Structure 1
Amino acid sequence: MCTSVTFLSETGDNFLARTMDFDFDLDGRPVVIPRHQHFNSDAGKDGYDTKLAFVGAGRNIGNYILVDGVNERGLSGAALYFSNEASYANQIKSDQTNIASHEVLNWLLGNADSCEDAADLIKKLNVVNVPIKLLGKVVPLHWILSDRYGDCRVLEIRADGVHYLKNPVGVMTNSPDFDWHLKNLNNYTELQPNPHPDRDYSGYRISSFGPGNGALGMPGDYTSVSRFVRTAFMRQYTISAQSKDAVNVLSHILNSVEIPKGVKLKENGDSDYTQYRSYMDSSRLTYYMQPYDNQTISRVVLTEELMDKSEPIEFPLNHEQTYHVLN
């Protein structure tokens, strides 16, 4: 449920993209959160404040909750499901920022200038074990962050503490933990874009049936483990491009992990599918959204006018299933 990947263009601009895979219709749409906002928190009466503007996919459920986005300093991020691994605090701590898991991304994008800056903020963070009203349960999440300098990190809060990790491969999916995914890549050292050489078996020569055999053994299912390997391979070998073509390149990379309705069913029969893809440009402060029912990619740009608004602004679907676009 969800895949994320970074991409550094030939012209040095950094992008973050993700699929949002879920069985419950989240009804997300582009939302701009202006500067200097106060949010009530499900974790306690004090709530939390943000100073930076950001844009991403979200929904108003009493407060605006965003699940991905990019802020005015070029820090982008996404929240991904982390079932059976996430572990949060049961009590509020008076000397820390106490928020729920579904509020973490808002707080980070609203206050951090970069991945390095986020490292200092995270020391003051206490994620509390409280449910989100929309689902009626605590949402187990981990987070990927990427900034305009090309730095990429993963934040995981597990039973043994807070882990804020360098992400050398620029990819994240779901459980198991991120360190496990990195180690698992060691099982796929044979993957390559070029063909494997012919082999000789006691004088009998064998050849492949054509180009592409270098990727034989790459997992093709929709588990988080397989999606991680597949996306890491695609990111590594996809030909780079200029910034103007980066979203198109990322769209092709995510094609390999997009989940159509009906091909990934849960035990209760619900279909887990890719509700949308998003693409975040850290240099141009632009958020792109590509919904399942309409593959048209639309964008919202963080302008000074939007960043200085007094209240959040959303860009909902219209009756033709397209997004309002702000150029």
Structure 2
Amino acid sequence: MSNLIPPLPKPATGSANPAASLSSLWAYITPALDHIVKSPSNDSQKAPAIDVGFYTGIHSACYNYITSQTETIHASHKDSDDGGITSGTDLYEQLDRYFAEAARELLLGAPDDDSDLVHYIIPCFNRYSAGAKSVNRLLNYVNRHYVKRAVDDDKGWLSIADVLEHVAKTAQPNDTREQLAKKLREKRTDELKKWGYVDGGSAELMAEAEACAEAASGPDRIIHISSLAHRRFRTEFLDPLLAVPKMKGKHKVKKKIPKANGAGPPPNQPKGRLARSVKELLESKGGDEEKKMEDAKQLANMLRRVGVRPDHLLRKRLDKFCDS
């Protein structure tokens, strides 16, 4: 029990109103975010807690801030046709920047030796992901108010434009609204199957697949907070480690070399740091085979959860190894 981090107590704010502005709200919730996401912890599966009073205080402050924003927007635009302003946008964007910074900080701590990289990444991601889930619960009002409204406004991970081509190919001239709606659902299900969903799967399996699909979306898509954190882990932490370095100096390739087997860099070209580290892990001999398999499964799961697509070479290699 001595290793447990005590819950973070509610700070003394005096008569200050945390919901008065974005800066005051952010100053109020940042210590909680830092405690949940960044505190060193021996338990990488569970984020450190905050005091119940602080928890409810943050929920109330977010509710009051977004509600007051909504009233201000309605008052200033009641005679306008402008429906593009949504309360909560500034807070959501601030959260996005926060997770980007947190992921970059973790990347700065990565070991220089490729052989140590995998063993840094696994607990690092587990700890970060546990924090992301905890923040997702803490700021659930942002999900319920802002993210849900954005999705209803076609700003979610799967937009109408994404499914129009599918519907256009399969629609018949006499299709009813119900039949078109069914085709939209079919397209959505097809997309979720890429992330682990299966026909007849549970609601939990569908939610997990959708969280992966959200994390795989572009930065302009509005997604749930936990997926937002995972997307930033991909873009700010993993993408630099997956990147293939450019060749310099006398080794620079002047002519275009065809890709090996139609995908990825040729075998004689340097691969990204993470690919080298995974190669070393999977091809190592004489070690603990159970530990190797567990590490490979955790890496494969991490890549899926942060939105690295199924056809990515590293995902394919890890999935093949785990299936074997």
Calculate the TM-score normalised by the size of structure 2: 0.23
More strand by share: 1
Larger radius of gyration: 2
